[in-house]
Amino acid sequence: MNTKLTTCITVSSLVAAASVSAALATAPASPIVEMWRASATEIVHGQIEGVADDFSEFTVRVQGEPEFGDKETMTLKVNNTTQFRLDGKEATKEEALKVDRRATASHEDGVAISVDVRSMKSPS
């Protein structure tokens, strides 16, 4: 390949990369990017410790989750889009949310997205 052509392509690539980098550094953050950062899905595992009378929220005793630090429980809100499973099958919140059952819940900002509950049934 021609040396002048290679040098020209390399210099052009570096100038273009520097321009993009400078534009990104000075541009305000996109609202979409900020919204994505603000609502990250998290998962919590533990035992259901309490359920509101109207099933609008429940509390889980958190197990082995180092990111919770000293916090031993977490209360999650339930809405009309929260999905529930009991022993691997679709269920209603009234069927699934019972004290002392094991639960794994995905949530965003404390609002449950899906809750997988295991009953304490003994195998038949």
64-106 pLDDT, tens digit per residue, is: 655 555 568 999 999 999 999 999 999 999 999 999 999 999 9
**Is residue 85 located within the same domain as residue 24?**
no
29 and 78 in a single domain? The answer is: no
Confidence of residue 21 (pLDDT cuts 50, 70, 90): very low
Handedness of CA 109, 115, 121, 124 (dihedral sign): negative
Q: Residue 15 belongs to what domain range?
A: 3-34
Q: How many CB atoms lie within 10 A of CB 78?
A: 21
Residues 7 and 13: their CA atoms lie apart, in Å, by 10
Residues 10 and 43 in one domain: no
What's CA 9's distance to the chain center, in Å? Answer: 43
pLDDT of residue 120: 77
| 112 in the same domain as 80 | yes
Element (H, E) at 8: helix 3-26
Helix and strand numbers (H, E) in the chain are: 3, 7
- For residues 5-14, average pLDDT: 41
